[in-house]
C-alpha cells in the first residue's frame, strides 16, 4: 500500500526532483491505527504537505480561488505537525447535507475534520470518488474568520478549492474527517 500510494503522488509531481526510490525513502511506514478506524474511516491516505496548497492544486488540476492560499487550522491541538504522514479518513458522505460548523461539534472524540492538505491528498489518491459532489475541509479556515471553511467541489466540470461560510448546509457536500 505504501509504494502504491507513493507512486500516485510521485506520478503527479509531488516528489519534485527526487527519484522514485528517494521519494519512497522519505515516507514514514504506515502506522497501526485503531481497529475501529477501518470501518469509520475507510480511506487510508498518504498526506504529503511539503508542497504548498497552490502548487498541489496546479499538479492536480484543481482550480484555486485567489484567497485559498491563506488558511489556518481550526484545531491546533489536533493538527498534524509532520509534513508527510498517514491518516485514515472518510470523504464526507457520512455528513452529507450537514454544515461544516455543525459537523465540527458533532465529530466523535477521536475524530477531526480534514485539513486542506489532507483533502488534496484524498483527491490525489481517490479523485474519482469526488466527481460531481463536494467535500468540506472543516479543519482549514480563513485566518480572520473561522466560520469560513475550505471546500473542494466540482464547478463547471472541474475541481475547485475555495471558501464558503461553514454554517450553510450544501446538499451535495459533506464534511470529510479523519481519526485523530
pLDDT tens-digit map of 18-36 = 999 999 999 999 999 999 9
8 contacts: CB under 8 Å, gap ≥ 6: 124, 125
- 158: part of which helix (H) or strand (E)? strand 158-165
∠ CA 145-151-155, rounded to 5°: 130
| Residue 126 pLDDT | 86
The model's pLDDT over 140-160, given as tens digits with 9 standing for 90+, comes to 877 777 788 888 988 777 898
> Beta 84-90 vs 72-73: how paired, if at all?
unpaired
| Residue 179 pLDDT | 95
The model's pLDDT over 105-132, given as tens digits with 9 standing for 90+, comes to 899 999 999 999 999 999 999 877 777 7
Give SS3 for 103: helix
Output the pTM of the full model. 0.91
From the number of C-beta atoms within 10 Å of its C-beta (0-12, 13-18, 19+), residue 159 rates as buried
**Banded pLDDT at 70 (limits 50, 70, 90):** low
53 contacts: CB under 8 Å, gap ≥ 6: 64, 68, 69, 71, 116, 117, 120, 161
| Residue 131 pLDDT | 79
- Percent of the chain beyond pLDDT 90? 60
Rounded to 10 degrees, the C-alpha dihedral 120/49/98/91 comes to 50
8 touches 124 (CB < 8 A): yes
Amino acid at each position: 500500500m505504501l509504494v502504491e500510494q507513493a507512486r500516485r503522488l510521485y506520478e503527479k509531481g509531488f516528489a519534485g526532483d527526487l527519484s522514485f526510490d528517494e521519494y519512497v525513502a522519505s515516507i514514514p511506514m504506515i502506522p497501526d491505527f485503531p481497529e475501529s478506524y477501518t470501518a469509520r474511516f475507510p480511506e487510508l491516505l498518504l498526506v504529503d504537505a511539503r508542497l504548498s496548497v497552490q502548487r498541489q492544486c496546479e499538479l492536480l488540476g484543481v482550480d484555486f480561488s485567489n484567497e485559498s492560499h491563506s488558511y489556518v487550522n481550526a484545531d491546533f491541538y489536533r493538527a498534524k505537525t509532520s509534513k508527510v504522514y498517514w491518516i485514515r479518513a472518510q470523504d464526507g458522505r457520512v455528513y452529507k447535507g450537514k454544515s461544516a460548523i455543525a459537523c465540527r461539534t458533532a465529530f466523535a472524540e477521536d475524530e477531526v475534520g480534514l485539513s486542506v492538505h489532507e483533502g488534496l491528498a484524498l483527491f490525489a489518491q481517490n479523485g474519482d470518488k469526488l466527481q460531481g459532489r463536494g467535500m468540506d475541509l472543516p479543519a482549514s479556515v480563513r485566518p480572520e474568520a473561522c466560520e469560513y471553511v475550505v471546500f473542494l467541489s466540482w464547478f463547471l466540470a472541474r475541481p475547485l478549492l475555495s471558501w464558503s461560510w461553514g454554517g450553510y448546509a450544501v446538499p451535495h457536500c459533506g464534511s470529510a474527517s479523519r481519526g485523530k
